[in-house]
């Protein structure tokens, strides 16, 4: 596709429920990133893939968060046993180059997760 596509656009989860958020990067893009944006805050780094390799997962807030990109294309961010503090917009971005943001990412519109 022409841009980074994220689905679902909105997700409401009951506390304790597991969720899976999908990111379709721009075709051929090497690098893929996940960010978490809480209300009124800037995006915070979660994790970074180069092709299928997860090179940095230092931003994942707990072991309830898991991300994968098994074939180096589509990525899924999974959150187990969701908590209210997980409520945020989850942003995905991709880049044609390895490394973080030397040339600027292309971001998706995000998935807004609300945990009730």
Partner 1 sequence: AQSVAQPEDQVNVAEGNPLTVKCTYSVSGNPYLFWYVQYPNRGLQFLLKYITGDNLVKGSYGFEAEFNKSQTSFHLKKPSALVSDSALYFCAVRDGENRDDKIIFGKGTRLHILP
Would you count residue 102 as binding partner 1 (CB under 8 A)? Answer: yes
Would you count residue 66 as binding partner 1 (CB under 8 A)? Answer: no
Nearest to 2 by CA among 19, 27, 34: 27
Would you count residue 53 as binding partner 1 (CB under 8 A)? Answer: no
Would you count residue 25 as binding partner 1 (CB under 8 A)? Answer: no
Distance CA 96, CA 98 (A): 7
**Cβ closer to partner 1: 47 or 82?**
47
Kindly tell me the burial class for residue 47, based on how many C-beta atoms sit within 10 Å of its own C-beta (0-12, 13-18, 19 or more).
buried
Cβ–Cβ under 8 Å, residues 110 and 6 = yes
Q: Which residues pair with 115 in a beta bridge?
A: 13
Q: Which of residues 32-51 bind partner 1 (CB under 8 A)?
A: 35, 40-45, 48, 50
| Least Cβ distance, residue 14 to partner 1 (angstroms) | 25
Q: In the complex, which residues of this chain contact partner 1 (CB under 8 A)?
A: 3-4, 35, 40-45, 48, 50, 55-56, 58-59, 91, 93, 98-110
């Amino acid at each position: 596709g022409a841009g980074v596509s994220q689905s679902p656009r909105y997700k409401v989860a009951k506390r304790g429920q597991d969720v899976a958020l999908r990111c379709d990067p721009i075709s051929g893009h090497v690098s893929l990133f996940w960010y978490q944006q809480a209300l009124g805050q800037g995006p915070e780094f979660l994790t970074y893939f180069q092709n299928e390799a997860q090179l940095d997962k230092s931003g994942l807030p707990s072991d309830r968060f898991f991300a994968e990109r098994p074939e180096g294309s589509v990525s899924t961010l999974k959150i187990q046993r969701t908590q209210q503090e997980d409520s945020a917009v989850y942003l995905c971005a991709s880049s044609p180059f390895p490394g973080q943001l030397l040339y600027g990412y292309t971001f998706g519109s995000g998935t807004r997760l609300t945990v009730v």
